[in-house]
Structure 1
Amino acid sequence: MEPYIREDEDFRPIHMGHALAVDALYQRLPRTQAMAVQAEYTRKNTWFGQNTAMERRVLARRWIQKATGEVVQDEDYLRFVEEFRAKVEVEVWV
């Protein structure tokens, strides 16, 4: 079966070496941080696609609290995502 790609989606090929390096960084994250990264990347469109960025953060933080029992403030959530993005930029895209 062919994978479904929306017509309006910007198709970019997956570079396996980079994908594996990003996954290795992701696997080392604490669970709460990993969940924030999931909400902003892998689950963004499927779970939160109809929401604004602020609504997505609120819903994601509720999801994290329900799953882990940890309360994540908005500034911490944003920091988790930005730290991961910066780490990928430094360690993978060099």
Structure 2
Amino acid sequence: MCARKTFYIFVEASDGAQFCAVRQDQPIPSVIDGVRWKYVSCIDTARDKPYGFDADAAHAAMRQQGVYFYRRELMFRRADFLLEAA
């Protein structure tokens, strides 16, 4: 049961913001070849909340595709503001 919450995390070698996750109790898909996708770490979704990782979407993707792809990009929004002279 614990394995259902644990995911192996891989990063795309050419794009450090593109990640994929495979649940520990599932086979690693052939697309994760160790060349294009490199192993990064293992997370436990009960305690770890990596930026960009959605545990519900990951479980749904595992049921449908056997792998969950996600991006970890920081997006900054610039608020509109006026600078006034003092």
Q: TM-score, normalised by structure 2?
A: 0.26
Q: If you compute each CA radius of gyration, which structure gives the higher value, 1 or 2?
A: 2
Indicate the structure with greater strand content: 2
Indicate the structure with greater helix content: 1
